[in-house]
């Protein structure tokens, strides 16, 4: 945007509600603002996972508050937003929950307007509604409560008495929701009883609602302070007062999921991690993406020449054998860049290791002639025993770290395998400090390995990030490996493998993790 008077660029500020914690609960508009901004200004209650949607060059500014300290005063945050916008930047101010509900958005917007800075308020899902829902508590119910009041509890008793008319609030609605009031729960309960609420009125506190750390305690106005103290219950939490709390016994859905309370470290390449992460989330867990590998075309010019030469002899192959989805993707990428028509491989039959590899081929119109019962390269030959003939030529589009078992066995049977490295695997360059902090604080419950390279690279990445003894850091964490080859690599590296599925697939891995967690 250009100021017509000065000719200088003018920025804009989006005041965005991030939702209650689960990153998937952000609105479509809110996500658009994150993806397009030059600078994001965020606080503690906004999920760090949302930051992964930023442009690569976007600036991050943390202004979050903790109960015992403020990283930045609100007045300074207001001024920061103005200054960034006047520099011509598009700014997203990401706030937990909804920015208009105790989010002080009015103060921020007022100063922006004062300095003629364009802004937009993007509503979010408030924790006052979403957090109780994730604990199985609807804040209204046709038979129990037809209205709800949202009250701030983050004040001293004197300020609470000044800002809250207890005699009116107590009977104003069927359900009362207090935000940020854990430390004052005893005083809140006392005032509600004093002004006419029955002492046996149900109460629930939900901490870190919609997140993997979600925890819920229940009681009555008379008992809740003792319950909170006994549970050593800490903020942030939402307090729900009213008969709707009793619905939790029937409607508690989130905390009953098989992976609820489980944080899973996903070490696959970021481009491949979404499938595994989605399955973890579906079962109530939280994926912590920590990609330790990246794939790319080989950097060595000789590899380029080898691929070009091998693909140039397309008509000569009797078999195309793929051992991974990456192999399929890069194979077709090479065909496109070299202007080679797939129809030139008309003589070749197609074999694949694993159902995902077969699906990747079928999406491109190639039906698989052979798929082993066990999803490993070692078992592919057994399934092809009657079809392989000495003298046949086999093209193996693979990665640079592929095992030598398959080409060695093909040669032993008299066939002529042609191996080409259509991609190479390298250590991921960008790492997430949040994931490392979760590991250090013991907040990771399972580490997943989908290949041998993820095992070796994780240990190396941790060393590069300053962890002197990575094996010590992973003690007490469940190690889940997708197949026996990966499991052997993990064991040889000094890790204790606790989870290994019978089927070497992502679905098999997830099922094995869920079974292991439920057995505890």
**Catalytic positions, please?**
43, 65, 180
Let me know: does 178 contact 188? Beta carbons within 8 Å. yes
73-77 contacts, C-beta under 8 A, 24 or more apart: 74/104, 74/107, 77/41, 77/108
Token output for 123: 């509503």
Q: What's the sign of the alpha-carbon dihedral 482, 483, 488, 489?
A: negative
Cis peptide bond upstream of 236, omega within 30: yes
Comparing CA positions, the residue from 53, 136, 41, 139 lying closest to residue 81 is: 41
Give the start-end residues of each E strand in 404-477: 416-427, 446-449
CA 481, CA 265: separation in Å to the nearest integer?
12
Token output for 124: 């979010």
Judged on CB neighbours under 10 Å (0-12, 13-18, 19+), 113 is: exposed
CA 108, CA 117: separation in Å to the nearest integer?
11
Q: Residue 227: in which H helix or E strand, if any?
A: helix 224-230
CA dihedral 247, 251, 255, 259 (to 10 degrees): 180
CA 268, CA 288: separation in Å to the nearest integer?
11
Let me know: does 148 contact 174? Beta carbons within 8 Å. yes
Let me know: does 85 contact 117? Beta carbons within 8 Å. yes
């Amino acid at each position: 945007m250009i100021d017509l008077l000065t000719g200088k660029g003018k920025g804009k500020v989006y005041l965005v509600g991030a939702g209650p914690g689960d990153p998937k609960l952000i609105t479509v508009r809110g996500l658009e603002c994150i993806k397009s901004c030059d600078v994001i200004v965020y606080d503690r209650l906004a999920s760090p996972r949302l930051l992964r949607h930023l442009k690569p060059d976007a600036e991050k500014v943390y202004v979050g508050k903790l109960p015992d300290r403020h990283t930045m005063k609100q007045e300074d945050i207001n001024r920061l937003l103005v200054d960034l916008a006047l520099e011509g930047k598009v700014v997203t101010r990401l706030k937990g929950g909804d920015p208009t509900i105790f989010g002080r958005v009015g103060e921020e917007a007022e100063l922006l307007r004062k300095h003629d800075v364009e802004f937009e308020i993007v509503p979010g899902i408030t924790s006052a509604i979403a957090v109780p829902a994730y604990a199985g508590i609807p804040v209204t119910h046709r038979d129990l409560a037809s209205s709800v009041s949202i009250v701030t509890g983050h004040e001293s008793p004197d300020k609470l008495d000044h800002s809250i008319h207890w005699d009116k609030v107590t009977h104003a609605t069927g359900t009362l929701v207090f935000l940020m009031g854990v430390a004052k729960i005893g005083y809140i309960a006392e005032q509600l009883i004093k002004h006419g609420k029955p002492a046996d009125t149900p109460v629930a506190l939900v901490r870190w609602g919609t997140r993997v750390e979600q925890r819920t305690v229940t009681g009555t106005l008379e008992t809740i302070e003792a319950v909170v103290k006994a549970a050593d219950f800490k903020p942030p939490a939402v307090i729900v007062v009213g008969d709707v709390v009793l619905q939790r016994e029937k409607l508690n859905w989130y905390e009953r999921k098989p992976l609820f309370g489980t944080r899973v470290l996903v070490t696959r390449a970021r481009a491949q991690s979404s499938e595994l992460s989605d399955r973890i989330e579906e079962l109530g867990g939280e994926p912590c993406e920590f990609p330790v590998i990246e794939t790319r075309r080989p950097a060595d010019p000789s590899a380029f020449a080898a691929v070009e030469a091998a693909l140039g002899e397309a008509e000569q192959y009797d078999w195309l054998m793929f051992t991974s989805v990456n192999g399929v993707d890069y194979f077709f990428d090479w065909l496109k860049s070299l202007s080679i028509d797939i129809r030139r491989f008309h003589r070749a039959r197609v074999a694949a290791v694993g159902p995902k590899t077969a699906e990747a081929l079928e999406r491109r119109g190639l039906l698989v002639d052979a798929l082993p019962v066990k999803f490993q390269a070692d078992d592919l030959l057994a399934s092809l025993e009657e079809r392989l003939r000495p003298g046949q030529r086999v093209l193996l589009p693979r990665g640079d770290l592929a095992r030598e078992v398959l080409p060695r066995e093909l040669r032993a049977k008299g066939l002529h395998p042609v191996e080409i490295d259509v991609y190479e695997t390298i250590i991921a360059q960008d790492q997430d400090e949040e994931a490392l902090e979760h590991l250090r604080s013991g907040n990771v419950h399972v580490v997943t390995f989908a290949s041998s390279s993820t095992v070796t690279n994780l240990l190396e990445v941790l060393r590069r990030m300053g962890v002197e003894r990575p094996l010590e850091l992973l003690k007490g964490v469940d190690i889940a490996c997708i197949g026996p080859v990966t499991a052997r690599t993990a064991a040889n590296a000094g890790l204790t493998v606790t989870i290994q599925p019978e089927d070497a697939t992502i679905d098999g891995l997830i099922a094995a993790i869920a079974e292991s967690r439920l057995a505890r």
